[in-house]
Amino acid sequence: MQATLREFELVLARPLLTAHGAIAVRRGIEISVGDDACVGRGEAAPLPGFGVETYSEALAALERWAADPEGEPPREPCAAAAVESALTQLDAEIEGVTLATLLAGEVPTQRRIATHALVSDLDPEAAAQRASRAAAAGHLAVKLKVAARDPDGSAAAATAASEAARIAAVRRALPAGVALRLDANGGWDRSTAVKALRPVGHLDIEFIEEPTPQPADWAQISRTVGLRVAADEHLRDPGALDRLVEVGAIEVAVLKPAVLGGPHATYDLARRAAMRGVRSVVSTFICGPAGLRVARDTAVAVDPRGVHGIGTASLFAEALPEDVTPAGGYLPIPSSAS
């Protein structure tokens, strides 16, 4: 088996503002494994501030593994997920099935899967307009980044009250039936989270993701503001799901194959979550084409009727392949192995 690496860089059309800072460029390493007949691909694209290895660490780990593909896989989160993704896609290619079918054991009956749109504008009117356009384009959900930082990396000047007003403006801009999801990336403390969310708790908001960096806060926040809480970054610890469920902290799991060990690990975690009454939403790590395909196929295996965070190809200035770029709010579901 041969393994080759290709570095790439993708520029976002406009910076994505998060509690960890602005994301303007995505650098990644695509790994290909196999031979002339069958090839599987994975991708490592670490993000600063998100608790994974650095880009240089991921590249070094993948270079070591590519030199000896029969050896131990990398332990670094993004590099390990890239290798597992490539090997799993290779298995699917050899068996002549899609990655989704390999994971779930059945062929999906649907031909498309819904994606949410991602909005991070700090100005309430701009955020509302962008959300409205996303709904008009066909998206069934919008995720609004809250607790975000300014593009220069400084803390945003938004108060809890102005953040609540921004959330309300976006909700008003969305028609009934289009879900609003909030993602704080752990950027609030408990007091600020409550102050920002209590005024909008009566609105139709699907969930708040990672409201604070301390999961011990989440159950109380949920009870106080009346919103479901979702976990993302904190699910990277293998035992975290069970602990969060046991204390009533979460009702939704946001799962990123790019940091959770690849498609098999993500699918297994989603099944465990379902057994605990927790719904799963599969999401990308603002990936390139190889990572997007892995996230898409994993989402199809986990919940083909759900609305997932797998439409991030539209964030880039460069047009990506049609099979990973949302059209009308949906991605096509492959009917056979490529």
pLDDT per residue of the chain (338 residues) written in tens, 0 to 9: 899 999 999 999 999 999 988 999 999 999 999 988 899 999 999 998 888 999 999 999 999 999 999 899 999 999 999 999 999 999 999 999 999 999 999 999 999 999 999 999 999 999 999 999 999 999 999 999 999 876 665 554 478 999 999 999 999 999 999 999 999 999 999 999 999 999 999 999 999 999 999 999 999 999 999 999 999 999 998 799 999 999 999 999 999 999 999 999 999 999 999 999 999 999 999 999 999 999 999 999 999 999 999 999 999 999 999 999 999 999 999 987 65
Report the SS3 class of residue 127: helix
Residues 6+ positions from 333 with CB-CB distance below 8 Å: 100, 108, 110, 111, 112, 113, 296, 300, 304
* Alpha carbon distance 4, 155 (integer Å): 40
Identify the CATH class of 2-96: alpha beta
Tokens matching residue 254: 């946001």
Question: What is the CATH T-level fold of the domain 112-332, as seen in this structure?
Answer: TIM Barrel (3.20.20)
**Calpha distance 110→119 (Å, rounded):** 27
Say what the pLDDT of residue 154 is.
53
Structure-block tokens of residue 94: 């050899």
pLDDT at residue number 1: 84
Looking at residue 49, its pLDDT comes to 81
Sheet holding 21-34, edge to edge: 2-18, 21-34, 39-44
Any alpha helices (H) in 32-159, and if so which ranges?
Answer: 55-67, 77-95, 99-104, 124-137
Cα–Cα dist 174/170, whole Å: 7
The pLDDT of residue 158 is 74
Whether the model clears a pTM of 0.75, i.e. scores above it, the answer is yes
Please state whether 65 falls in left (phi above 0), alpha (psi between -120 and 50) or beta: alpha
Residue with tokens 């240089």: 56
Q: How many CA atoms lie within 13 A of 287 on its CB side?
A: 31
Give me the residue spans of the domains in the chain: 2-96, 112-332
CA 303 remoteness from chain centre: 14
How many other CB atoms sit within 10 Å of the CB of residue 139? 26
Q: What are phi and psi of 173, to 5 degrees?
A: -75, -15
For 132-178, strand residue ranges (E) read: 141-145
User: Residue 133, class by beta-carbon neighbours within 10 Å (0-12 exposed, 13-18 middle, 19+ buried)?
Assistant: middle
